[in-house]
Structure 1
Amino acid sequence: MTSLYRPARPSAPRGAFGQIVRNEARLAWRQPAGIIAGIGISLLLLVIFGEVPVFQQPSPRLGGLSAFEAYIPVLIAFAIGVLALTYLPGPLVSYREQGVLRRLSTTPVPASWVLAAQLVVQACLMVITVLMLISVSIGFFGASAPKDPGGLILAVVLAIAALFMIGLVIAAAARTTGAARGLTAAAFYPLMFFAGLYVPMQILPRVFQDISHFTPLGAAVQALEDSMWQGFPPATPLGVLAGYAAVFGFLAKRFFRWE
């Protein structure tokens, strides 16, 4: 009689997840394109805006903010978007193409740990970037400290979660790294428009501002801007970010392919 017994999967060695995180961090350091794009470009733009005197003058068209102040939340959102949408999907799709995730399924280490390690590394890079941007803007260019640090932390966490989940859906939908780059570009540039990277949302027609409030990066900028210059962000942008995180998290879990 055929036995229905299936041997239990051996448990992963102690410290295996930490080792995977360290390996992913080393790979990120050896291939620094994402770090340069996410951290370097946003920091460079911040310095450029800070060094232009006219950008330091308050503007009625920007709600009394200077152009420099208006762009701090935008650059934070830009950095999160670059890392989550352009740097996160690529390695995961590459691992799937090379059969790394499939081979891991035959070992005690779950393939999902590679995904989790990528998220840990990317989250650390994002937090470092946010701290650098805020510290430089305050320490070198005299920007005001955030009005509501707790609201700022919540906005950053929700923005990271929402953009992470969108990045994972891109990784799920793309069969090749080339396809991942195409999907990333199709999502990234329109989202950055509605975040106000190219033109501040405050000076665009009302219809664009209304649409922006319901895009992930637009909602992120609104929540960041409110927490930095006014107080605790309103429920709408926080709810939009939480909604994106929940919906795209479900889609990523449903459609992500390990092979």
Structure 2
Amino acid sequence: MSASAAVLKAETKLFAREPGSLFWVLAFPSLLLLGFGLIPKYREIDEGLGGNRIIDFYVPSVVLVALVTASLLSLPGTLTGYRERGILRRMRTTPARLADLLIAQMALHAVAAILGGVLAIAVGRLVWGVALPEQPLAYGVTLLLATLAGLATGSVITALARTAKAAQAVGLAALFPAMFAAGIYVPIQVLPDVVRQIIALLPFGAAAQALNQAASGSWPAWSHLAVLVLWTVVPMVVAARWFRWE
């Protein structure tokens, strides 16, 4: 087995043993959607929303919750914890490259976030009768770009935070505006145009609006996809420049 494969196998086992990360990334989005659906008003057809229900618009937002928690809380907490405990420093004495660990962690969190999102879509369909995305290809492309942008943003926290507690504090501070931009607190469709334009410049805001467009059968606006690409490239450059292994 190559060093890269060995690192991925070991990190997969460790990730599977983290009940906190598994809950917040895999289970919490679906539980949140179940909770929203218990509100009677959210299940009523609203002519002001084009004959849709509020719960229909919440599914894309809840899909992003898995990504928000994975990229802003789980990933930075794990890697800064490794750095704080000297694990990254000790890896230099092994055949494994430190880059293997970073790639493995990002891959695991990306897969977990996508699985959490897919599970939320399934729950929305089976429990609340929410229609599946009418543009599945556009939905998948947007979700992939959003995953890259989210993990890139989380890598900046990992690079700049000196301790696991600092990473957790920064992640929590970023969590609430990210949730607002994703449309968790208030559905994006009922926000004023100016507010929607502002949050469309943020990664999770652009992702939420693009996912809603794909869900309704339209190809996402190229401006939203461009924002996601920008939020992938720039944070990765920053993280690569400032990341510390010790």
TM-superposition CA deviations, 1:178-221 (whole Å, max 9, x none) = 11011111211112112221112222333221111111111110
Which residue of 30, 53, 78 corresponds with 1:43? 30
1:194 matched to 2:146? no
Deviation of the 1:17 alpha carbon? 2.2
1:164-243 aligned at under 5 Å gives the runs 164-243=151-230
1:257 matched to 2:230? no
Deviation of the 1:63 alpha carbon? 4.5
Q: Contact between 1:226 and 1:233, CA under 8 Å: does it hold in 2?
A: yes
Q: Contact between 1:61 and 1:202, CA under 8 Å: does it hold in 2?
A: no
1:44-59 aligned at under 5 Å gives the runs 44-59=31-46
Deviation of the 1:92 alpha carbon? 0.6
Cα distance in structure 2, aligned partners of 1:248 and 1:63? 37
1:76 matched to 2:63? yes
Task: Mark the runs of 5 or more structure 1 residues left unpaired by the alignment.
Answer: 1-13
TM-score under structure 2 length normalisation: 0.94
Q: Contact between 1:194 and 1:211, CA under 8 Å: does it hold in 2?
A: no
Deviation of the 1:154 alpha carbon? 0.5
1:84-123 aligned at under 5 Å gives the runs 84-123=71-110
TM-score under structure 1 length normalisation: 0.90
Deviation of the 1:120 alpha carbon? 1.5
Q: Contact between 1:62 and 1:70, CA under 8 Å: does it hold in 2?
A: no
1:123-134 aligned at under 5 Å gives the runs 123-134=110-121
Change (3 A) 1:244 1:92: same
1:247 matched to 2:234? yes
Deviation of the 1:133 alpha carbon? 1.3
Q: Secondary structure of 1:225's partner? A: helix
TM-superposition CA deviations, 1:96-152 (whole Å, max 9, x none) = 112211121222110111111111211111121122111222233222121111101
Cα distance in structure 2, aligned partners of 1:252 and 1:60? 46
Cα distance in structure 1, aligned partners of 2:201 and 2:46? 25
Change (3 A) 1:61 1:210: farther
Structure with larger Rg: 1
Deviation of the 1:158 alpha carbon? 0.5
Tell me which protein shows more helix as a share of its residues: 2
Q: Tell me what 1:8 maps to.
A: none
Cα distance in structure 2, aligned partners of 1:64 and 1:89? 41
Which residue of 156, 161, 165 corresponds with 2:143? 156
Which residue of 92, 102, 122 corresponds with 1:135? 122
Over the aligned positions, Cα root-mean-square deviation in angstroms equals: 1.5
